[in-house]
Amino acid sequence: MAQSNGVVNAYLVAYNAASFVGWAYVLAQTVLYLLENGTDLSGLFSAIGLPLIYVQTGAALEVLHSLVGLVRSSPMTVLMQVYSRLLLVWGTLYVFDYPEIRASPALVLMVLAWSITECVRYSHYALSLMGIEVYALLYLRYTMFYVLYPAGVSGELLEMWAALPHAAAIRPAFKGFLLLNMINYPPVLYKLYTHMMRQRRKVLGGETAKSKAKGGETAPSDAASRKKKL
């Protein structure tokens, strides 16, 4: 059993580290492009499009991780987070080669929000799985969402809005599908936002310390850290 736990822990470390590297590359390429080209976004998708699609698609593994119990995250919560992004990268960015979609400020807003969030998240979990706790990353992980969630969602909705007429040209049902997803954003965002607020209170609000003071269970560490929520 100990050997099995070690293998799982090593896999999760590798997954989180690889995901961090992927998102760090997307973030660096986006920032470099903006520094070099300013407001000319015509080549942005060419610079980051494929890496963005690949690294985001890799996040689909997180649904499997939660389903088989490698992590404690709720499969439904993970699915909601991953599904909307896969819809954006495959159902919008990949399908529609139009400047209002691939060369828009909304794309910049969305990619920066995603990549910053994921660089912090994956680096935090990779280090935690190795028994290294960096409070700065922990704090950022459970604080930046206040700004980055609304920013990312705004970019996502603007991208889908720009895709609507092109989706209708392919098939009216495609436009209806995108519209249905847009309408579903507010309740999903509320659920994810309040979930993160509860997690922030739990992680940064002193519940663990109170539990220890009362002789309750302590937070998992080292070998058990693979059960940390993603």
CA distance 62 to 82: 8
- Is 149 a catalytic site residue? yes
CA distance 212 to 201: 16
Active-site pick, 156, 159, 185, 217: 156
Q: Is the dihedral of CA 165, 168, 174, 176 positive or negative?
A: positive
Longest dimension (CA), the chain: 63
Q: What is the DSSP string of 90-125?
A: IIIITT---HHHHTSHHHHHHHHHHHHHHHHHHHHH
CA angle at 94 for the pair 91 and 97, rounded to the nearest 5°? 115
Query: Helix 105-129 vs helix 2-37: angle between axes, to the nearest 10 degrees?
Result: 150
- Is 156 a catalytic site residue? yes
Phi and psi torsions of 206, nearest 5°: 90, 10
Active-site pick, 11, 94, 139, 149: 149
165: its two tokens: 């007429």
Active-site positions? Answer: 149, 156
